[in-house]
Structure 1
Amino acid sequence: MSLDGRYDADNIFAKIIRGEIPSVKLFEDDKVLAFMDVFPQSRGHALVISKTSQARNILEMEPEVLADVVAATQKLAKAVNAALKPDGLVVTQFNGAPAGQTVFHLHFHVIPRYEGEALGRHGEGGMADVEDLRALAAKIAAAL
């Protein structure tokens, strides 16, 4: 998919926002939702999305909504750092399929990095065990 196109209201993140697909939530308010990535690249990989915008990428995101999403991403990064004590953190966001974007609803990744552990490939690898995600989410949520 290119950088141009129409928002698909049936994308997986839109379905998560509407409650049609379950997720392991970390926090949410009327503007943003943070939840665990079910295809994590690293232990504790989480995502932040807007609940109000239909922007597919950063080029389309309304500046005031982007500010809310970035603030929530920082909040999540601080909680992941406090809870999991990684050696580093990757905060990333992809725009368009050639850049690695697989869900066309703007989202930020917060990916803990641990010394000596390889980073999994984005969008590849197996689905995480839900109970493991819930246990990690409880640790992260407690640090919020």
Structure 2
Amino acid sequence: MAYDPNNIFARILRGEIPNRTVYDDDFALAFHDINPQAPIHVLVIPKGAYTDLADFGARATPDELAGFFRAVAAVAAQLGIVEPGFRALCNTGSDAHQEVPHFHVHLFAGAPLGPMLAR
């Protein structure tokens, strides 16, 4: 999947599309999902142009890698979801139903989430 500089997350990063920001630093932006799948559903995206987790892991600098995952943890703490728990989900590729070609992590919380996959 090629990076599309006009994907919705790239446009959010450029300020072209509004969002409900939860967290913003040099490495990441976190905001509420517009179609939440849980009582709390926040997306965390890196500021760089990475298509998915594989691309991010291969091309991001050590500072970007550490800064992004620290941001994910900081967002969870800020939202108060570390206890009783949350789910962090990253879809990569078509089999995982990745819809936006910009790496992102979903944070789900606020209720028991059930099994990871349908059986």
Q: Normalising by the residue count of structure 2, what TM-score does the alignment of the two structures yield?
A: 0.82
Q: Which SS does the other structure have where 2:45 is aligned? A: strand
In structure 2, what is the Cα distance between the partners aligned to 1:57 and 1:66?
13
In 2 relative to 1, CA 7–99 (structure 1 residues): closer, same or farther, beyond 3 Å?
A: same
Does residue 114 in structure 1 map to residue 111 in structure 2? yes
- The answer to whether residue 92 in structure 2 is matched with residue 104 in structure 1 is no
**What's the Cα RMSD here?**
2.1
Equivalent position of 1:7 in the other structure: 3
Say whether 1:93 aligns with 2:66: no
Question: Unmatched 5+ residue regions in structure 2?
Answer: none
CA distance in 1, matches of 2:65, 2:102: 12
Task: State how far apart, in whole Å, the 1-side matches of 2:49 and 2:21 are.
Answer: 20
Of 28, 42, 45 in structure 2, the residue corresponding to residue 46 of structure 1 is 42
> Which residue pairs with 1:135 in the alignment?
none
Q: Percent identity?
A: 33
Pairing 1:19–2:15 present = yes
User: Could you list the per-position Cα deviations for residues 29-86 of structure 1 after superposition, in whole angstroms to 9, with x for gaps in the alignment?
Assistant: 23211111111111121011111x211011111152222111110111112235xx87
2:80 is matched with which residue?
Answer: 81
Task: Decide whether the 8 Å contact of 1:86 with 1:113 is kept in 2.
Answer: no
**One-letter amino acid of the counterpart of residue 21, structure 1:** I
CA contact (8 A) 2:27 2:71 kept: no
Which of residues 49, 56, 65 in structure 1 aligns to 2:51?
Answer: 56
Q: SS at the partner of 1:45?
A: strand
- Matched residue SS, 2:5: coil
Q: TM-score, normalised by structure 1?
A: 0.69
Instruction: Report the Cα offset of residue 112 of structure 1.
Output: 0.2
The one-letter code matched in structure 2 to 1:59 is A
Q: Is the 8 A contact 1:7 1:105 kept in 2?
A: yes
TM superposition shift of 1:118: 6.8
